[in-house]
Structure formats: C-alpha cells, structure tokens
Amino acid sequence: LGMRHDLYIGTAVDMAALNDPADPQYRQLVGSQFSSVTAENVMKWESLEPTRGTYNWGPADQLIAYAKQNNQRVRGHVLVWHNQLPGWLTTGVADGSIDTAELRDILRNHITTVVKHFKGKIWQWDVVNEAVSDPWDNPPALHYKGFWAQHLGPGYVADAFRWARAADPNALLFYNDYNIEAFGSGNPADDKTQFVYDMVKRLRATGVPIDGVGSQGHLGTQYGNYDTLQVADALERFGDLGLATAFTEVDVRSQMTPGVQAGDSNEINPRLQASAANYSVLLQACLLSRHCLSFTVWGFTDRHSWIPGWFDNPPEGLATLYDENYQPKRAYQTVKADL
C-alpha cells in the first residue's frame, strides 16, 4: 500500500509534555515522527479565551512556531464544540445574562477572531465538532446535540462554516465526529454515519463552505474490528460528495481487567495485537482512498494519553503507538509496515 507518499501523519500535542525538560523524548518524537500536528487542548475556547475579551494565544502560537520549525502542517482544533467552553460563557447563558442574539454574536466573533489570528497557518480547521448524538443516547432518535444546538438551533452549523470561510478562505473546513467510521457494518454507530452523511450532503447542496469530514477514529478493542473495505467505502462516499476526509484522533483503547499489570505480557499481548489490527484497518482504508488527506493519532504514547483519565470504569488504556517508556508497540510496527 506504499503508494500514498502524500499522506500526512499527525499527532495531537500536549503542550505541557512538549515543554517538559524532564521528558525530552516527547518533544523529540513529535518532531521526528510526524508531518502534521494538532493542539490537544490549547486551541479550545476555554484555553484561548478564559476571561471574556482576553485571548491567551501563547501556547497555540508556540505550537505553530514549533510546527513551522519542523516542517509540519497544523490541523486547527476546534472552533465550535459543546465541551471545554469557558465558564463565563456557559454561566452567562445559564443565568440568562447572555441571550440568544448575543450568543450568536459571541460565536461569530470567536470564530472570526480565532480564524483570523491563525490565518494562513492552519491547513485544516475542525469547524464543528461532535454535533450529532449517538444511537444509544436519550432521546434515542439521532439528533443535533449539545449546547449550541440547544441554544441556537441546528442552523449554527452552516453559520459556523460561513464565518470560518470568510475569515480564512484558504483553510480547509472540516466537520469532525466520532463513531462515523462505517455504513452497514452492523454496529449501531452506522446510523450516526448516515445522519452525518445526510447532514454534510445537505450542507454541500445548499452551498455551505464545507471541505471535509474528519473521522476521529477513537476505537476500543472490546468492540471488535471494522473491515478495511467497509471503512474505505465510507471514506469514498464522503469523497463522492466532493469532500476531503481525514482520520483526526485515532487511538485504540483496551479494557484493563483488574490485576492486569502493564508488564504482564500474557494478558497484554492480545490487547496490543487487537489494537494494532484496528490501527491498520483505519490507516489502510485511508491509504486506499485518494480523498483521505491525513491520519492523525490522538497522542502517540501511553505516557500522555487522555484515555486512562477519561475511561475509568472499567479502567481503559494501552491506546497509543508507544508504551509509557516510549518503546514502540505492535501498533507502531503495523503502522510503519502499512506506510
């Protein structure tokens, strides 16, 4: 499959780890193993504008400078999301001091300010993130979920893309979500893929400036494997709408049954193999699809992965390419071999 030398391989970057003098391997590997970077947190609204009207650009600018030094492209993450919003915004809406008209102005202003600040430096922007519910959510019918849909209605999605385009006409504008890897796989998430497909198709048909769909690719070995051709087919279908695609946040976690130690190879090896196999499914699907521009992992070492802090009941982990001591795991070898 080594015919796609144009595929960018990216990672999310944790700025604290990048700047930690006691952890030089982190910085060394970000700089040497990847051709694209995404800010894991520092371009989120709560980081950029912790106090209303006062933007804190420092850490994000630092990542951009680092990427330039290392000849890396930057994925911008994220303009509109329901999580990691600043307290002044959520509180203001909750207590009624910010009404709907003002909220819409605030959103337009945020998108415009942020996209202009980074103008010319961002390859792909995640304009809207995770706007759609999951099939197992309540209410069960798939719908536009979260803070923005609740307060502005689903029209905020089209607005966000228009405002982003006006602020930087050259950045590729993406809709980004999880559980949209496949259609017709038998996984309940298939319905979500279809909902997102219908949404982006409608956006394209009505002239909304959307350029791509990002499939996050947060998988778990407990759910089994997708089939490469099914995933490639989903990418093709998005591609047929005239959209680019990308895997934007790949990691493949495993449940850690009680008593399993990281060094217990009889227990751990099957998980590492299953994780590697899932990485390979997503990467090969991307390699097979000429519209798939980049393959980004959400962290590359178990030393700095969001999984253990987020999925803790039961505890999950082992989701990345390198172990906690920066030893490449089977998933690393698989990805290398596919490339």
Q: Residue numbers of the site for ligand XIL (CB under 6 A)?
A: 40-41, 129, 216, 249, 306
Nearer to ligand XIL, 83 or 257 (CB): 83
Calpha distance 37→248 (Å, rounded): 10
CB of 41 to ligand XIL, least distance (A): 5
Q: Are 206 and 156 in contact (CB under 8 A)?
A: no
The dihedral formed by the CA atoms of 159, 162, 168 and 173, expressed in degrees to the nearest 10: 80
Q: Which residue has the tokens 């949404």?
A: 199
CB of 160 to ligand XIL, least distance (A): 15
Calpha distance 298→246 (Å, rounded): 13
Distances in Å between the alpha carbon of 117 and those of 109, 112, 173, 298?
Answer: 12, 8, 16, 24
Nearer to ligand XIL, 165 or 304 (CB): 304
Q: Is 236 a catalytic residue?
A: no
Report the residue number whose CB is nearest to ligand XIL. Answer: 306
CB of 58 to ligand XIL, least distance (A): 18
Nearer to ligand XIL, 129 or 289 (CB): 129
Which of 249, 267, 316, 324 is labelled catalytic?
A: 249
Nearer to ligand XIL, 168 or 249 (CB): 249
CB of 115 to ligand XIL, least distance (A): 18
Q: Is 249 a catalytic residue?
A: yes
CB of 52 to ligand XIL, least distance (A): 22
Calpha distance 281→223 (Å, rounded): 14
Crossing angle of helices 156-167 and 190-205, rounded to 10°? 60
In sequence order, which residues have a C-beta less than 8 Å from that of residue 176 and are 6 or more positions away?
77, 78, 126, 128, 129, 130, 213, 214, 216, 248, 249
Active site residues: 130, 249
